[in-house]
């Protein structure tokens, strides 16, 4: 029995290594990533919500590790199978089933599903070979497998993080430098979130890397003159700069699953109008190379100022943030605002089956709830008793924040000093000088949205299905 596990484990490792090496040789996505995508797409809402809550942004590495260990465990199990014929049949059957699923499922934009399926078949053949091999060969086979696996993982992450080259982008009418007067407030978030600190969320195992030379944005469906725009043609429609916060619907109180950026994009209306839209098209569907679709009623499209974004904080979009282009509507949560790696804008008269719909989320767009966050002092910080500056950010895109208040313990709300407003859709930095006597204190923050003087909703709510609400609350100890 124990020997069976060892033999099976070696076979699993050799099989996985073979599959990964084959995938790399075919310049395909890794088999682990392909299988991981199945996990992402088929996770039930409660499981996904729990995963996001616990793992935050470590979800993808954890999925990768679980897929790899499942394959290794399956190999080990095969090694203990008493009858060779049934064992082989089981392995081949399972591979065929997984392969068939892989070829039919959503792709990440590069490569067909048959490549990972072929790699899986190669891996199974390798594993079955090792199960039959003389004992002396088990060690070397496992080593070779581990080496193949390691080499492919390194290669994949190198290839996927390679940044595409893009031309310099110039706005029609550059905005003045982004300053709001809070530059010397210790501990407050930067006014513009640096790209490398900006949260990344999507349903891919690794970001698609797109060659702009071959990329096209098509405008199709109910239009008089369908378009197929190259990167240069899109940019040639004219670029505007705008400052806006982008918020993930999974952002919880105090989390940083949002960022504030200076975006550069073509007004969406300009792109649509270039295709002579027909009034019968009442729904706009935006589709990305990863097969992700999100739609919006055209009435809403006209009410909200959306953009086809190509730049972020002075440079082109990075691969992780959607190069070459993404759709963004300030004030709409990330999963409803539009896709990264945009490839198609389609006007249609039917409601669309968006990516999130069969996964239990409501038809959008879901508007960002006004919310605020304390940046400093940190939760559970120790400070000296006496005067303390409390600082943070508040957001209520697209209309803006008109006031921020904080409360200490069960005391009254104190109005914060607001930094200048960069743009209504941007987040706004705030500061309150308070005096803390020695002891443990609870600090809470709340904001008011300018639109309708709407006070931040104090009801504690989880992100699913309309975004978190409540007051970000921290405790500090003054001594
Ligand atoms: N193509 C594509 N676009 C996507 C997604 C995705 O999974 N695929 N995720 C959306 C979600 S849920 C969010 S919160 C934002 C995140 O954008 P960021 O990674 O640039 O912060 O992208 C949105 N656009
Ligand atoms: Mo999101």
Q: What is the pLDDT of residues 36-45, one digit of tens each?
A: 988 888 888 8
Of the listed ranges 26-40, 96-110, 118-132, 389-403, the least confidently predicted one is: 96-110
User: What's the average model confidence in pLDDT over 247-273?
Assistant: 98
Q: Is the pLDDT of residue 162 over 90?
A: no
Q: Report the atom number in ligand 1 closest to the C-alpha of 335.
A: 12
**Candidate of 57, 202, 361 to mutate for ligand 1, largest count of ligand atoms within 8 Å of Cβ:** 202
Of the listed ranges 90-104, 229-243, 376-390, the least confidently predicted one is: 90-104
Q: Which residues have a Cβ under 8 Å from the Cβ of 89 and sit 6 or more positions away?
A: none
Q: Answer left, alpha or beta for residue 283, where phi above 0 means left and psi between -120 and 50 means alpha.
A: beta
Ligand 2 centroid–CA 314 distance in Å is 23
Interior angle at CA 377, CA 374 and CA 380, nearest 5: 100
Atom 20 of ligand 1, nearest CA residue: 321
pLDDT confidence band for 163 (50 / 70 / 90) = low
Atom 7 of ligand 1, nearest CA residue: 202
Percent of the chain with pLDDT over 90: 81
d(CA 71, CA 206): 20
Q: Is the pLDDT of residue 164 over 70?
A: no
Q: Report the atom number in ligand 1 closest to the C-alpha of 248.
A: 14
Q: Is the pLDDT of residue 110 over 70?
A: no
**Candidate of 195, 201, 329, 366 to mutate for ligand 1, largest count of ligand atoms within 8 Å of Cβ:** 201
| C-alpha distances in Å from residue 427, one per residue of 11, 181, 394, 398 | 54, 14, 6, 10
Q: Report the atom number in ligand 1 closest to the C-alpha of 341.
A: 1
Rg, Å, the chain Cα set: 26
**Candidate of 327, 334, 342 to mutate for ligand 1, largest count of ligand atoms within 8 Å of Cβ:** 334
User: What's the average model confidence in pLDDT over 187-205?
Assistant: 96
pLDDT confidence band for 160 (50 / 70 / 90) = low
Ligand 1 centroid–CA 238 distance in Å is 24
Residues with a CB atom less than 6 Å from ligand 1: 198-203, 246, 248, 288, 290, 292, 321-322, 334-335, 339-341
Backbone torsions φ then ψ of 439, nearest 5 degrees: 135, 180
Interior angle at CA 60, CA 53 and CA 318, nearest 5: 105
Ligand 1 centroid–CA 325 distance in Å is 12
Q: Report the atom number in ligand 1 closest to the C-alpha of 337.
A: 23
Report the Cα 415 to chain-centroid distance in Å: 34
Q: Is the pLDDT of residue 58 over 80?
A: yes
Ligand 1 centroid–CA 319 distance in Å is 12
Nearest ligand by distance to the CA of 203: 1
Torsion of CA 377, 378, 381, 387, to 10 degrees: 10
Q: Which residues have a Cβ under 8 Å from the Cβ of 440 and sit 6 or more positions away?
A: 475, 476, 477, 478
Ligand 2 centroid–CA 210 distance in Å is 21
Q: Which residues have a Cβ under 8 Å from the Cβ of 86 and sit 6 or more positions away?
A: none
pLDDT confidence band for 156 (50 / 70 / 90) = confident
pLDDT of residue 108: 65
Q: Which residues have a Cβ under 8 Å from the Cβ of 92 and sit 6 or more positions away?
A: 124
User: What's the average model confidence in pLDDT over 357-371?
Assistant: 94
User: What's the average model confidence in pLDDT over 292-302?
Assistant: 96
Backbone torsions φ then ψ of 218, nearest 5 degrees: -95, 145
pLDDT confidence band for 27 (50 / 70 / 90) = confident
pLDDT of residue 289: 93
Q: Is the pLDDT of residue 159 over 80?
A: no
Ligand 2 centroid–CA 104 distance in Å is 25
pLDDT tens string 399-421: 999 999 999 999 999 999 999 99
Ligand 1 centroid–CA 292 distance in Å is 9
Q: Is the pLDDT of residue 109 over 70?
A: no
CB 115 within 8 A of CB 23: yes
Ligand 1 centroid–CA 340 distance in Å is 6
Cis amide bond preceding 398, omega within 30: yes
């Amino acid at each position: 029995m124990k020997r069976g596990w060892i033999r099976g484990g070696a076979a699993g490792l050799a099989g996985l290594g073979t599959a990964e090496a084959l995938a790399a040789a075919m310049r395909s996505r890794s088999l682990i990533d392909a299988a991981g995508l199945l996990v992402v797409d088929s996770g039930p809402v409660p499981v996904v919500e729990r995963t996001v809550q616990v793992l935050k942004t470590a979800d993808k590495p954890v999925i990768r590790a679980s897929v790899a260990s499942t394959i290794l465990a399956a190999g080990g199990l095969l090694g203990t199978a008493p009858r060779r014929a049934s064992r082989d049949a089981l392995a081949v059957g399972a591979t065929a089933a997984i392969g068939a699923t892989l070829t039919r499922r959503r792709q990440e934009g590069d490569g067909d599903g048959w490549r990972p399926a072929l790699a899986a078949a190669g891996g199974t053949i390798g594993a079955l070979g090792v199960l039959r091999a003389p004992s002396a060969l088990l060690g070397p086979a496992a080593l070779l497998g581990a080496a193949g696996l390691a080499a492919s993982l390194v290669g994949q992450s190198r290839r996927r993080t390679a940044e595409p080259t893009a031309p310099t982008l110039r706005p029609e009418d550059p905005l003045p430098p982004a300053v709001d007067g809070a530059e010397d407030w210790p501990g407050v978030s930067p006014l513009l979130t640096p790209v490398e600190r900006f949260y990344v969320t999507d349903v891919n195992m690794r970001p698609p890397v797109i060659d702009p030379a071959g990329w096209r944005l098509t405008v199709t469906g109910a239009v008089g003159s369908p378009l197929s725009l190259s990167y240069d043609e899109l940019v040639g429609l004219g670029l505007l700069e705008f400052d806006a916060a982008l918020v993930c619907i999974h952002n919880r109180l105090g989390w940083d699953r949002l960022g504030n950026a200076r975006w550069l994009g073509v007004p969406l209306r300009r792109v649509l109008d270039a295709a002579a839209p027909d009034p019968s098209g009442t729904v706009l569907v935006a589709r990305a190379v990863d097969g992700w679709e999100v739609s919006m009623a055209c009435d809403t499209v006209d009410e909200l100022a959306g953009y086809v974004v190509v730049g972020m904080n002075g440079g082109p979009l990075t691969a992780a943030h959607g190069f070459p282009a993404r759709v963004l509507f300030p004030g709409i949560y990330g999963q409803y605002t539009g896709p990264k790696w945009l490839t198609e804008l389609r006007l249609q008269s039917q409601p669309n089956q968006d990516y999130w719909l069969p996964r239990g989320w409501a038809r959008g767009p879901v508007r960002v709830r006004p919310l605020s966050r304390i940046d400093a002092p940190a939760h559970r910080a120790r400070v000296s008793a006496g005067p303390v500056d409390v600082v943070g950010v508040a957001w209520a895109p697209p209309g803006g924040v008109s006031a921020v208040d904080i409360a200490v313990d069960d005391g009254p709300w104190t109005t914060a000093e607001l930094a200048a407003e960069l743009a209504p859709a941007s987040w706004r930095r705030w500061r309150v000088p308070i005096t803390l006597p020695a002891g443990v204190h609870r600090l809470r923050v709340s904001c008011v949205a300018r639109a309708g003087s709407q006070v931040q909703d104090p009801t504690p709510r989880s992100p699913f299905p309309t975004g978190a609400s409540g007051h970000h609350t921290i405790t500090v100890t003054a001594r």
